[in-house]
Chains A and B, each alone.
Chain A
Amino acid sequence: MDKFAPVKRSEDGQPVRYLIVDDSVFARKNLARMVETFGGQVIGEAGDGISAISEYERLIPDIVLMDITMPQMEGIEAAEKIVRDHPSARIVMVSSVGYQENIVAALQRGARHFVQKPVKPEVLYEVIKYVMRDDGTTVRTAGAGA
């Protein structure tokens, strides 16, 4: 996997803290592996929308990576409920179902961005940097680059 310059929180220089939400354990592991190469820290995981909401409340992560098609409660509904209570929540939808209506619905309900599966690390990295913007900083290290 490519070497990426770590993205840190600008307020304290600590790693960006992620909550990963996907009904597939396999997909969660892959996303976790990917964000760790960006210098991030996975602080929680959830397998459906309902757990995502309770995990968000408990952990208050910097970024949520949220699947759409999940059992019990889908990702768009979970994103809407999280953003309603936490307007500053940064939620990035990560789904294989990326048709226009779905993307528009997710963004209208408070998601900050959309990444289509299969996820390319370089695409997710740029999205993370964009979503963090003023609250994130890229730390240049020897040999690091995206």
Chain B
Amino acid sequence: MRMELIQPFINSADAVLAQGLESPISIENLSMEEEAYRRKGIAAEVCLTGEIEGRIIFDVDRATAVQIASRLAGVEVSETDDDLVREAVCELANQIIGNAVTTLNDQGFHFHVRPPIMHTSEQGSKGSEDTEAMVMCFNASGGNVFMNVALRYHLQPTSERSAVAG
């Protein structure tokens, strides 16, 4: 997968998590996913359509998700408050992916973002020849946050098409 597609997601996760959690974030691992994605904890999925198509799964282990929800809500969130914890993960996914999408759009890739939905199945689709999947693991609030990005070019970015067209 081209780095120009991945870098905005790394930058956005770093910025949004650091701001939301008010603590430094480190990227622990970055790897190509060859097998079907296995959910680690509470996960939200965002689909993209347009010149770039695919999906991003944002996945947080349960204990970290509760900590994140508490930080973002500004009040202690109970581990049993499933709805609020899920909502917090969805909203964080929305912010991280939305910020990355903003950068990509401003670079000339035009596509549409669908609202986040909970990803409840144990497995996600695996990468294929035309849809490569990359998994990023960040360390935040003492736990792990995973982002599985599976995207493919549907069309060249508008800027490249314009350049070719002259």
Contacts and interface: CB of A to CB of B under 8 A. Distances in A.
Given A69-B115, A99-B101, A116-B102, A26 B95 contact: no
A84 interface: no
Contacts of A70: 115
Contacts of B99: 96, 98, 116-117
24 contacts: A24-B94, A25-B83, A25-B84, A26-B72, A26-B90, A26-B91, A27-B91, A27-B94, A29-B73, A33-B74, A69-B94, A69-B98, A70-B115, A96-B98, A97-B98, A97-B105, A98-B99, A99-B102, A99-B103, A99-B105, A100-B106, A101-B105, A101-B110, A117-B94
Interface of A: 1, 23-27, 29-30, 33, 69-71, 95-102, 116-118, 120
Interface of B: 16, 19-20, 69, 72-74, 83-84, 87-88, 90-91, 94-99, 101-103, 105-106, 110, 113-115
Given A26-B73, A33-B74, A99-B105, 17 more contacts: A1-B74, A24-B90, A24-B91, A24-B94, A25-B87, A26-B69, A26-B72, A26-B87, A29-B73, A30-B72, A30-B73, A70-B115, A96-B97, A96-B102, A97-B113, A117-B94, A117-B98
